[in-house]
A and B are shown apart, each in its own frame.
Chain A
């Protein structure tokens, strides 16, 4: 008995040591530099608006000082604002691309983000579609939460529920909202149905295939073809569907030349769809390319992102953000794992083409999307 006891103690010690070796101690929170900013947060939460502004400005100064000594500041970003979702499903806010300060809070998710935090900004930057979660209505499903696509104006105001689903994606022409959902059980995290909502008419075009699990939806520049990853396939399969003619998800085709590692899409660039590997790591840099969706021809390499900035890793955590602006040259990315000591877990970075290092924008972010500079925000009712 004592031998078993000893073996168990040793095995426990080994795991504790291994946890430390994995770098879990290097959480962004533990970095002493941040302690200079943290008291400001506590103070800001309890003070009047004028005081908050003053503290935030001071925070920005500290932030800039910190950044200047640790990361390269690239050329001025073309987009100046970002929509971001706080870690643990907090607020959705418009933040500055320069220093991460909050310009405007759009919505409170009450912490209810259980699955794949995703943000989609309309091409005219008038609204943001996002996923949130709620308790199921009566007879909707037995247990769990319902993931729901919702909309809020870029200026704030009421949140409008679109319906159960995840991975909202707006077509480049702004006419269609695509998202995925489960055909029978809205509490399920397996999404076998693609919904194309015509925002002009409210008509939903629904495509289903029971063996499919859709994720990472991304429109092609033509606003007709939609790329997604089929997580139900083994290995997972980047696929393309013609939303104008398809009758079911069976009509989708495998994106030529895309392999199983090309599992994420970072959005639509002017010429194609950005495709990224499922994960980047210190030993597996993420080569982000642009490809023609129909032919699968790679038109250019956008970036080769080093370890720690990538997609698709954790539930209820930073995972799906690797979002390019329209030029495809300015990418938002979330620090992925505490394993990567050089990158802060859950921190939002900007990676401009030509930069040798990413620029830290803000900490504790789970999802983000560019607001394009040509955007002309409209009224909350538009």
Chain B
């Protein structure tokens, strides 16, 4: 006789709670680092899928959310992903207007656009600090670096942003 069970993986219970709790914030992180909602959701799905594949191990971590954020932060900035994002964005322009039109205000978009032009580590530190509101120590946990390093990246990022965003205001 066939066994009947509910169609949810046995290990999916804990993971599902984790997914539900973290998904939104991780999409936000991906968005600010890649600039596209489509790609942000792609990246997030990939990161959570990767987490699920390793859930037996990752669920034992103190902060499994940090692992997912690190994956997203690293992938979001890769050149390959940027190219894919451009292709996908072009491809879906006509059919995703409901989402693409749902942009953030121009001033805030400009801030994140400037962040994306920062060196990779600086952009990641800024995103985790100002979007996820993590402390320097927590950012260090996500990125696998020391608190002092995070502070240095943050300081340099602010300096660079002051230059780039200040220039924009002057030009405007």
Residues of A within 8 A of B (CB): 1, 3-5, 7-12, 14-16, 18-22, 24-25, 27, 29-30, 37-38, 40-42, 44-45, 49, 52-53, 55-57, 59, 84, 86-91, 93, 95, 100-104, 110-114, 231, 234-236, 260-261, 277-279, 281-284, 313-317, 337, 339, 362-365
Contacts and interface: CB of A to CB of B under 8 A. Distances in A.
Contact of B6 (A40, A84, A278, A365): A40
A44 B19 contact: no
Interface in B1-20: 2-10, 12-13, 15-17, 19-20
A20 B3 contact: no
Interface of B: 2-10, 12-13, 15-17, 19-20, 23-25, 27-28, 31-32, 37-38, 41-42, 45-46, 48-49, 52-53, 55, 87, 90-92, 94-99, 102, 104-105, 107-108, 111-112, 115, 126, 129-131, 133, 158, 161-162, 165
B158 A7 contact: no
A75 to B, nearest CB: 24
A22 B53 CA distance: 27
Contacts of A91: 9
A1 B28 CA distance: 24
A105 B123 CA distance: 45
A190 to B, nearest CB: 10
B98 A45 contact: no
A1 B90 CA distance: 36
A24 B23 contact: yes
A250 to B, nearest CB: 22
Contacts of A14: 104-105, 108
A143 to B, nearest CB: 12
B92 A278 contact: yes
Contacts, number: 195
A238 to B, nearest CB: 13
Contacts of A49: 3
B97 A283 contact: yes
22 contacts: A8-B126, A8-B161, A11-B107, A12-B32, A18-B28, A21-B102, A41-B8, A52-B4, A53-B3, A88-B9, A89-B53, A90-B9, A102-B5, A234-B87, A234-B90, A260-B94, A279-B96, A281-B96, A283-B98, A316-B46, A317-B41, A362-B7
A34 to B, nearest CB: 10
A41 B158 contact: no
A44 B41 CA distance: 31
Given A30-B20, A284-B96, 12 more contacts: A8-B111, A9-B130, A15-B108, A88-B15, A88-B53, A100-B7, A101-B7, A314-B45, A315-B42, A316-B46, A317-B45, A337-B99
A334 to B, nearest CB: 13
Given A21-B102, A281-B96, A111 B126 contact: no
Contact of B97 (A38, A261, A284): A284
B130 A12 contact: yes
Contact of A41 (B13, B37, B38, B105): B13
Given A52-B3, A104-B2, A114-B49, A45 B20 contact: no
A194 B149 CA distance: 49
A337 B41 contact: yes
Contacts of B96: 279, 281, 284
A89 B49 contact: yes
Contacts of A93: 7
Given A15-B108, A111-B52, A95 B165 contact: no
Nearest to A49: B3
Contact of A112 (B13, B53, B87): B53
Contacts of B55: 111
B98 A282 contact: yes
B5 A88 contact: no
Nearest to B105: A14
Nearest to B90: A234
Nearest to A42: B13
Nearest to A46: B10
B72 to A, nearest CB: 13
Nearest to A24: B24
B24 A19 contact: yes
B130 A18 contact: no
Given A5-B158, A24-B27, A27-B23, A18 B6 contact: no
